[in-house]
Amino acid sequence: MSDAPRLLTVILNWRTPEMTLRAAEAAAREMQGLDSHIVIVDNNSGDGSFKAIRDGISNADWAENCVEVVQSGHNGGFGAGNNFGIRHGAAKGFDYFYILNSDAFPDAGSIQLLLAHLTFNPDVGIAGSYIHGEDGAPHVTAFRFPTIWSELEGAARLGVISRVLKDHIVPLPIPSATMRVDWLAGASMMLRREVLEDIGLFDESFFLYFEETDLCLRAARAGWPTDYVRASEVTHIGSVSTGMKTWRRMPSYWFDSRLYYFRKNHGSALAPTLAHVTGTLIWKLRRIVGRKPRRDPNWFLWDLIRHYIRNIPNRTPRERTETPTLNPRKEANT
**Would the pTM of this model clear 0.75, i.e. be above it?**
yes
- 243 vs 249, residue with greater confidence: 249
Work out the mean pLDDT of the chain and round it to a whole number.
Answer: 92
Residue 250 is classified by DSSP as: -
What's the CA gap between 168 and 136, in Å, rounded? 28
142 and 184 in contact (C-beta within 8 Å)? yes
- pLDDT score of 330 more than 80: no
Name the band, by pLDDT with cuts 50, 70 and 90, for residue 295: confident
Is 60 exceeded by the pLDDT of residue 2?
no
Q: Is the dihedral of CA 172, 176, 181, 187 positive or negative?
A: positive
Q: In this structure, are residues 98 and 190 in contact, taking their beta carbons and an 8 Å threshold? A: yes
Residue 54 has pLDDT above 70, yes or no: yes
Q: Supply the pLDDT for residue 328.
A: 59
pLDDT of residue 64: 82
Mean pLDDT confidence for 262-285: 96
Q: Which residues pair with 100 in a beta bridge?
A: 11, 188
Cα 165 to Cα 32, 50, 159, 272, 312, distances in angstroms:
45, 47, 10, 15, 29
The Cα-based distances of 95 to 5, 35, 115, 134 in angstroms read 6, 10, 10, 31
pLDDT at 240 over 70: no
| Nearby residues of 101 by Cβ (< 8 Å), 6 or more positions away | 11, 12, 23, 186, 187, 188, 236
CA 215/CA 229 separation, integer angstroms: 18
Specify which residues 106 forms β-bridges with: 234
Pick from 35-39, 217-221, 290-294, 296-300: least confident: 290-294
Q: Is the pLDDT of residue 271 over 60?
A: yes
Higher local confidence (pLDDT), 293 or 10: 10
- Residue ranges per structural domain of the chain: 7-245+318-333
Distance in angstroms (rounded) separating the CA atoms of residues 109 and 233 = 8
Rg of the chain over Cα atoms, rounded to whole angstroms, equals 20
Beta strands in 115-271 (DSSP E): 126-132, 142-143, 179-181, 183-184, 188-192, 226-236
Q: Are 318 and 264 in contact (CB under 8 A)?
A: no
CB 151 within 8 A of CB 276: yes
Tell me what percent of the residues of the chain surpass a pLDDT of 70: 93
Gap between the Cα atoms of 227 and 177, Å rounded: 10
Q: Which of 141, 132, 169, 167 is nearest to 154 (CA)?
A: 169
Average pLDDT over residues 44-70: 94
- At residue 248, the pLDDT reads 78
Using CA atoms, how far apart are residues 199 and 325, in angstroms rounded to an integer? 8
Which 3 state secondary structure label does DSSP give 163? Answer: helix
CATH number of 7-245+318-333: 3.90.550.10
- Our measurement of the distance from residue 67's CA atom to the centroid of its chain's CA atoms, rounded to an integer in Å, reads 22
**Mean pLDDT in residue range 62-76:** 93
pLDDT value, residue 246: 58
Handedness of CA 210, 213, 219, 222 (dihedral sign): negative
**pLDDT, position 314:** 76
pLDDT tens readout for residues 97-126: 999 999 999 999 999 999 999 999 999 999
